[in-house]
Amino acid sequence: MSEIERGRGVALWSQIGDILADDILKGRLPQGQMLPSAQELATRFDVNRHTVRRAMATLEQRNLVRTEQGRGTFVQEQALDYPISRRTRFNQNMRNLNVDTDTEILEDARELPPTQVAEALGLGRNEYVYRIETMSRADGHIVDHSTAYFPAARFPGLPAIYRRTQSVTQTLNEFGITDYVRKHTRVSARLPDAHTARLMKQPANRPILHVQSINADPRGMPVQYGITRFSGDWVQLVLMAGD
Amino acid sequence: MSEIERGRGVALWSQIGDILADDILKGRLPQGQMLPSAQELATRFDVNRHTVRRAMATLEQRNLVRTEQGRGTFVQEQALDYPISRRTRFNQNMRNLNVDTDTEILEDARELPPTQVAEALGLGRNEYVYRIETMSRADGHIVDHSTAYFPAARFPGLPAIYRRTQSVTQTLNEFGITDYVRKHTRVSARLPDAHTARLMKQPANRPILHVQSINADPRGMPVQYGITRFSGDWVQLVLMAGD
DNA sequence: CCGGTCTGTCTAGATAACTAGACATTTGTG
DNA sequence: CACAAATGTCTAGTTATCTAGACAGACCGG
């Protein structure tokens, strides 16, 4: 059973609210079902009934439950308020991360000074980069949110081509790069920043898979640096041996 | 700039700590760089200096910053890159990184019916497996908590050997397996279960890297199925192209 | 070595979060 | 109707969090 912790910097009512919200959103508490009574939950979490009530208030606010005096509190049935996590598997070869997805371009590509990405792309101080932000869906569910950087000097006019082709492979191909390889990939588990959480419509306390990658041309020259943030609930990266 | 919010159920020091931790982990504050002074941060977040100090204390606890009296607070340099390739060996990885490893066997290996792992190891219903639970430290910090399964019929008496050698590579070697390769690796971001969180001494809301792997002998026969839970703060998986 | 700028450590008080208990109101059931 | 079980609403007191201020100790540059 889930536990709560005192003095951790998160109010008890907030922790209890999160646990119950999670139970509801993950489907462990079916729609329409009556929750345990406030007194019962207070006993279970070893907390005062008022604290439970405060948690309930937030759930009611979020339209996750509905309370009826004298009867009880019930899981609010809802069609499409929050995406219920159905836990799909999204198997994709690491090398093909950027292709074959239903992508939406969030921001028109901009030319920027290469601050932190300079090193990754092997660029000097005053060489500019293009940045492209995208978001991909599968089955209508948001799967990832990516930021890709390209050296602007080497690929003049890249954004227009990318907008037309919607594919990294295609775009690079038009610049004569018929092959490129994943130079390396860094994977870490993180909590999303506020911006990403909002974009991906997921709570700030649900982890994401944060993938940094560098693609290089056959001569080993980096051609793309990217950051992809996968929904931790929806995605499992599958790393195949060999390929 | 990131904002904090009062009365949201999360203590101000906790929110400030999260923001700064994020800045550090995402690289917006470069390693070794001095943070703004406590007074400066207090002004920026519109909060008392003591509140900032409390946030700093948690960052120091997590070893993300280092404070030096009279000088300032600095981003602690670290990043334990963990290379994963077809030939991944934990002990060797760590030796290459020049850190003090220390693996502790949590549970004496047991012979178990192969419930969920049967398929992964290509076993039938009534073939037993050994399970070994370990926890590894590097430089005194908990790095991972692993569960490894081996087919018992093929490796009789394996636990004793493992206990002596403390190394998967060595142990398999004594059974005549001089080489093995990573057949596949699954990586996902998760919140730790209660047991893992307690073992790894990390809060339940800090994500971990959950890695499932299968190692196979040169003929492709699975010899080990493992689940490794890496501390998200300390470990970055680095996937190498090629090998 | 002196003054400015940091962190470290106290004390005291204000505000938010939590507890404890009492009692009212609504609902379903025997 | 009487009763049990639920939510709703008070009051009062405790604990955690945050604020305010003062001062000590370490560091650095002039």
In this prediction, residues B165-177 reach a mean pLDDT of: 84
Architecture of domain B12-75 in this structure: Orthogonal Bundle (1.10)
The one-letter code for the residue type at B68 is E
pLDDT digits (tens, 9 = 90+) for B214-240: 888 888 788 888 888 887 666 666 554
Task: Choose the closest CB to A207 out of B58, B84, B190.
Answer: B190
Give the A window 104-123 contacts with B, CB below 8 Å.
Answer: 116
Whether the per-residue pLDDT at B48 is higher than 90: the answer is yes
Q: Which pair of structure tokens corresponds to residue B1? A: 């700039």
Does residue A204 carry a pLDDT above 50?
yes
A155 to chain B, any CB pair closer than 8 A? The answer is: no
Structure tokens at A241: 């041996």
Q: What is the mean pLDDT of residues A204-229?
A: 78
Mean local confidence (pLDDT), A19-32 = 79
- The answer to whether domain B12-75 and domain B80-239 are alike in fold is no
Q: Is the pLDDT of residue B241 over 50?
A: no
pLDDT beyond 90 at A103: no
Q: Is the ipTM of this complex over 0.95?
A: no
Q: Decide if A158 contacts A109 (C-beta within 8 A).
A: yes
Does residue A25 register a pLDDT over 50?
yes
Gap between the Cα atoms of B42 and A243, Å rounded = 51
Residues of B in contact with A235 (CB under 8 A): 188
Main-chain phi, psi angles of A64, to 5 degrees: -95, -25
Select the more confidently predicted residue: A141 or B191.
Answer: B191
Q: What is the pLDDT of residue A48?
A: 92
- Which residues in chain B touch residue A181, judged by CB atoms under 8 angstroms apart? 241
pLDDT value of position A97: 36
- A229-238, B156-165, B224-233, range with greatest mean pLDDT: B156-165
Residue of higher predicted confidence among A163 and B13: B13
Which of the four pLDDT bands, split at 50, 70 and 90, describes residue B53?
Answer: very high
**DSSP letter (8 states) at residue B10:** B
Query: Angle CA(B192)–CA(B194)–CA(B15) in degrees, nearest 5?
Result: 65
Tens of pLDDT along B103-124?
Answer: 555 555 555 555 666 666 777 6
* pLDDT for the residue A234: 46
Q: How far is B160 from chain A (nearest CA, A)?
A: 30
DSSP assignment string, chain A: -----TTSSB-HHHHHHHHHHHHHHTTSS-TTPBPPPHHHHHHHHTS-HHHHHHHHHHHHHTTSEEEETTTEEEEPP-SSSS-----------GGGTTSSSEEEEEEEEEEE--STHHHHHT--TT--EEEEEEEEEETTEEEEEEEEEEETTTSTTHHHHHHHH--HHHHHHHTT----EEEEEEEEEEPPPHHHHHHTT--TTS-EEEEEEEEE-TTS-EEEEEEEEEETTT--EEEES--
Query: If one looks up domain B80-239 in CATH, what number appears?
Result: 3.40.1410.10
Q: Which residue has the higher pLDDT, B99 or B122?
A: B122
B179 neighbourhood in chain A, CB within 8 Å? none
Query: Which of the residue ranges B37-41, B138-142, B156-160, B195-199 has the most confident prediction, judged by mean pLDDT?
Result: B37-41
Tell me the range of A161-170, B49-58, B158-167, B204-213 where mean pLDDT is highest: B49-58
Select A94-231's CATH number: 3.40.1410.10, 3.40.50.150, 3.30.70.141, 3.30.70.1340: 3.40.1410.10
Which among B241, B188, B69, B182 has a CA at the least distance from the CA of A233? Answer: B188
At A124-135, the pLDDT tens digits run: 666 778 888 887
Domain assignments of chain B as residue spans, ordered by start: 12-75, 80-239
The pLDDT score that the predictor gives to residue A93 is 33
Nucleotides of D under 7 A from a protein CB: 5-11, 16-21, 25-28
> Cα separations (Å) of A141 from A86, A192, A212, A228?
10, 17, 22, 16
Question: What percent of chain B is modeled with pLDDT above 70?
Answer: 68
Judge residue B61's burial from the number of C-beta atoms within 10 Å of its C-beta, 0-12 exposed, 13-18 middle, 19 or more buried: exposed
The partner residue sitting opposite A190, judged by closest CB among B10, B207, B240, is B207
Q: pLDDT confidence of B58, banded at 50, 70, 90?
A: confident
